[in-house]
């Protein structure tokens, strides 16, 4: 499996012959281009067209985050697996509102199942989540009767709010108690973790979409527009509970993050580089964890399962093959 690398220092990304290197403070680190899927950039870097041409040939995506850790954008090389037929079928399923709503429901219902899996796990280990489990199961049933995307997203938003309120029961450290979801900007440490983790997941899914014939600009739950990718936001909903939230629970319940891993700026709180490195290390551990896939019967990583989920969606929209979203056992 190809790797991702993360750049936190300031410096220059350069090409030399048939390889690339990162130069910082007079030191060069050569990057194994044949083994790379994605480059994640958190520092201030310089690069040129010669470098971009080369990584484009090597089919490497570059994801940029600003000083505050917010996702800025992606250098998304020309799609190497382009299929006009797949794009047409994607668009057809988006433009037909009933088809679009059906796909959006399948995605959110799968996300709800994964939330229930998480809560059941902790409920069986002494966290009293019975009420939340009951309420979320009822909200999941309400999704079936939603007539519009807006109704569906409203039910989903209420479900997630109730789920987030359970974080304070799961996380043992009262310093990270959840009060209310705040995004732009995050107002406290737990919201800073949720926002950063979700941004990582959106970007991870985008990198996996690049390895398929799907177009990231055509989503179903999140509206297609002129400004952003949307399919990655859709598929990320399925995996946020089992990757992002479990990462948060693990690093906080192990007391791996402290006050020194955050910094405040005006009315917002964010992870600093030290905190981001800790989060990304555990996030990658989760992504690379392998399980026996319930359908194909082989051992695969969660990162690979994201790709398989995209293949399933592609099969559904092009061949009308039944879509059953991935639900974790834990």
Domain-wise residue ranges, the chain = 3-75, 88-319
Does residue 330 surpass a pLDDT of 80? no
pLDDT at 270: 93
Class of domain 88-319: mainly alpha
Q: pLDDT band at residue 317, thresholds of 50, 70 and 90?
A: very high
Predicted confidence (pLDDT) per residue in 247-261, tens digit: 999 999 999 999 899
Closest CA to 230 of 243, 241, 220: 220
Q: pLDDT band at residue 180, thresholds of 50, 70 and 90?
A: confident
Q: What phi and psi, each to the nearest 5 degrees, are found at residue 14? A: -135, 155
Predicted confidence (pLDDT) per residue in 68-119, tens digit: 888 999 999 887 777 899 999 999 999 999 999 999 999 999 999 999 999 9
Count H helices and E strands in the chain, helices first.
11, 12
Over residues 173-188, the mean pLDDT reads 87
Does residue 152 surpass a pLDDT of 90? yes
How many Cβ atoms sit within 10 Å of the Cβ of residue 28? 12
Task: Read off the pTM.
Answer: 0.93
Q: pLDDT band at residue 294, thresholds of 50, 70 and 90?
A: confident
Distance CA 48, CA 260 (A): 35
Does residue 242 surpass a pLDDT of 90? yes
Does residue 234 surpass a pLDDT of 90? yes
Q: Which fold has domain 3-75?
A: Ribosomal Protein L15; Chain: K; domain 2 (3.100.10)
Distance CA 306, CA 317 (A): 17
Average pLDDT, the chain: 93
Q: pLDDT band at residue 137, thresholds of 50, 70 and 90?
A: very high
Q: pLDDT band at residue 267, thresholds of 50, 70 and 90?
A: confident
Distance CA 216, CA 151 (A): 24
Strand partners, 6: 40
pLDDT at 228: 81
**DSSP codes of every residue in 181-196:** ---SS--SHHHHHHHH
The percentage of the chain sitting over the pLDDT mark of 70, rounded to a whole number, equals 99
Helix%, strand%, coil% for the chain, nearest 5 = 50, 15, 30
């Amino acid at each position: 499996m190809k790797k991702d690398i993360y750049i936190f220092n300031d410096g220059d990304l350069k090409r030399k012959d048939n390889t690339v290197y990162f130069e910082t403070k007079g030191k060069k680190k050569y990057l194994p281009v044949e083994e790379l899927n994605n480059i994640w950039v958190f520092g201030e870097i310089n690069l040129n067209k010669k470098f971009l041409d080369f990584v484009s040939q090597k089919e490497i995506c570059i994801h940029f985050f600003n000083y505050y850790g917010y996702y800025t954008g992606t250098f998304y090389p020309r799609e190497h697996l382009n299929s006009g037929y797949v794009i047409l079928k994607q668009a057809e399923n988006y433009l037909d509102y009933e088809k679009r709503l059906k796909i959006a429901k399948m995605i959110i219902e799968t996300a709800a199942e994964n939330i229930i899996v998480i809560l059941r796990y902790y409920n069986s280990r002494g966290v009293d989540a019975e009420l939340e489990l009951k309420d979320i199961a009822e909200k999941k049933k309400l999704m079936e009767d939603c007539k519009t995307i807006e109704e569906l997203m409203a039910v989903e938003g209420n479900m997630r709010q109730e789920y987030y309120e359970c974080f304070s029961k799961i996380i043992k450290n009262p310093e990270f108690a959840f009060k209310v979801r705040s995004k732009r900007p995050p107002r406290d440490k737990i919201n800073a973790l949720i926002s950063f983790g979700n941004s990582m997941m959106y970007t991870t899914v985008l990198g996996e979409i690049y390895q398929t014939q799907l177009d990231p600009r055509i989503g179903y739950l999140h509206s297609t527009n002129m400004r952003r990718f949307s399919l990655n936001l859709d598929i990320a909903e399925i995996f946020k509970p089992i990757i992002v939230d479990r990462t948060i629970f693990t690093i906080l319940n192990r007391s791996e993050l402290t006050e020194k891993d955050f910094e405040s700026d005006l009315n917002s709180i964010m992870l600093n580089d030290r905190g981001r490195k800790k989060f990304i290390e555990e996030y990658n551990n989760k992504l690379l964890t392998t399980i026996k896939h319930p359908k194909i019967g082989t051992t695969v990583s969660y990162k690979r399962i994201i790709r398989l989920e995209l293949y399933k969606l592609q099969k559904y929209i092009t061949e009308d093959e039944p879509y059953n979203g991935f639900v974790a056992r834990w």
